[in-house]
Amino acid sequence: MASKTVYVALTPLDHLHQPNYVKLCYYLPLKPNVSAQDVYADLSKGLRKTFVQLPWLGGKVHNQAPDTPRWRPGQREIRYEPVSADGPPPHQLRYKELSSDLTYAELKEEGFPSDVFDDEDLLAVPVEGDLEAGCDIFVAQANFIPGACVLCMSTCHAAIDGTAMVIVMKAWADNCRSLYEEGAEAEQLPVESFDRNLLDRLWEQEGSRNVPAESADWWTKGLVGLEFDRSDNEDATTKKFNGVLNGYKMPSRLMTNRTFYMSSANIAALQKECNDADTDGGDALSSNDVVTALMWRSLVRARAAAASPDDTSLSAESVLESAIDGRTDFSQAVPPSYMGNITFYNQAQLQVADLQDPSVPLGQVARVIRAGAGRVNSASLQEGYSLIRAVPDYRVLRPRFRRLKGADMLISNLLLFPVNDIVFGSEKFGNSGRAEAVRCFMGQFNHAARVSFVLPRRSAGGIELSMNLYEEEMDSLLEDDDFGRFCLPL
């Protein structure tokens, strides 16, 4: 019998990301007297409907065989089979009952602090999936406490980016709601949403040209992970984490995650303070510019304050990478529902001494971030794409934040993720099936990279920041008066 397996080569931009897993956890209240087993059964049925509509989502990412046409070193592919509507519950969704000293009402009152549960209890995933055995594109776990479901999901970053994670989650929620509401099924997305040849085709159609890597500046190379010097000395832990690490013993020194709240009044005050001190005369700094600048400066200061006098791991320069969703700027022909990776990295660079210097206004830091963001347009992103599609070996791609030493980091802004559109329905859920909080966890990958997040907006009146630091660094952050003026730990 002929194999039913479908093989789909991943795009150049898919290879900018390792097969790691970032977890989004949705706190969903349940109606009184609703059974956890019944909720799990509905979630399973809704997920199977989603896999029927998007069969590749139930597949795996593998290394591509070297004898495949147009193969190059590091090339990956998706492998999947069509999904039957009447099959068993998907193995990708697990069930767990959590133990907690706090009730759901108490969790809500305290602002859903991120340290109540070990995020590996919420969903255990490897640092990076095993590309030889194949790594699941989608994984999830329905966690239950009295009165609530903490629904935690993740996707393999080698196949799907953060925006697409939310698109997937909405489809799952719609299909769960359709079990009780006629016509609520997930909408049929345009075929271009799943076309892994789309970006190449648009690059060719829109007259883009190959750009020699030697003629591109550091910012353009950094868009696609080519600026970082791979000969730079990495610590052994990071080298190991950058490979396939199932079964690798975790290091004794682990990072911790804290969530902070910024009120709308504090955001406005921060923005005014930065713009009043900014003497460059350019466009006004946005709230995103100043919040990112505050996070960058505060994280570097915390790391420097916690370092011992003989610690030389903090470099003299810090490069901030900020994730860019290219759906809008790469080409007008890219649908908002595109499901592959179309993430680039804006770069901002400052001396660590300047980030520590209280005489350097925060507006000046924000202006450096704005300078890079101002370069983002179709021409610059397609120039970056020309660089990444020309590399002879995908293994050379590596963003700077994927190391622990130095002073580089990634801040990913998820603020505009449309999580309010994710509605599981009111049959078994409270709040109409909308999450009352969303938290982002890195899992074991948190111990291999320097990443923090601006979390999706849940309601008017403020934003939440997810910060990752070693314990002594977090203590220093909590003692930073400049950061504490604007941010409240939850």
Of 402, 100, 473, 17, give the one whose Cα is nearest residue 257: 473
- Domain 215-416+448-489 carries which CATH code? 3.30.559.10
CA distance 265 to 466: 19
Which fold, 6-194? Chloramphenicol Acetyltransferase (3.30.559)
Contacts of 313 (CB under 8 A, 6+ apart): 235, 307, 404, 405, 406
Q: How many CB atoms lie within 10 A of CB 210?
A: 11
The pTM (predicted TM-score) of the whole model is: 0.89
Residue extents of the structural domains in the chain? 6-194, 215-416+448-489
Phi and psi torsions of 413, nearest 5°: -95, 110
Two tokens at 482? 């400049």
Residue by residue, pLDDT tens for the chain (490 residues) are 456 999 999 999 999 999 989 899 999 999 999 999 999 999 999 999 999 999 999 999 999 999 999 999 999 999 999 998 888 899 999 999 998 888 899 999 988 888 888 888 999 988 789 999 999 999 999 999 999 999 999 999 999 999 999 999 999 999 999 999 888 888 899 999 999 999 999 999 987 777 787 888 999 999 998 875 544 444 444 444 444 444 445 556 678 888 999 999 999 999 999 998 877 767 889 999 999 999 999 999 999 998 877 766 677 889 999 999 999 999 999 999 999 999 999 999 999 999 999 999 999 999 999 999 999 999 999 999 999 999 999 998 887 766 667 788 889 888 888 888 999 999 999 999 999 999 988 767 666 678 888 988 766 678 999 988 989 999 999 999 999 999 999 8
**Three-state DSSP class for 378?**
helix
Pairing of strands 409-413, 437-441: unpaired
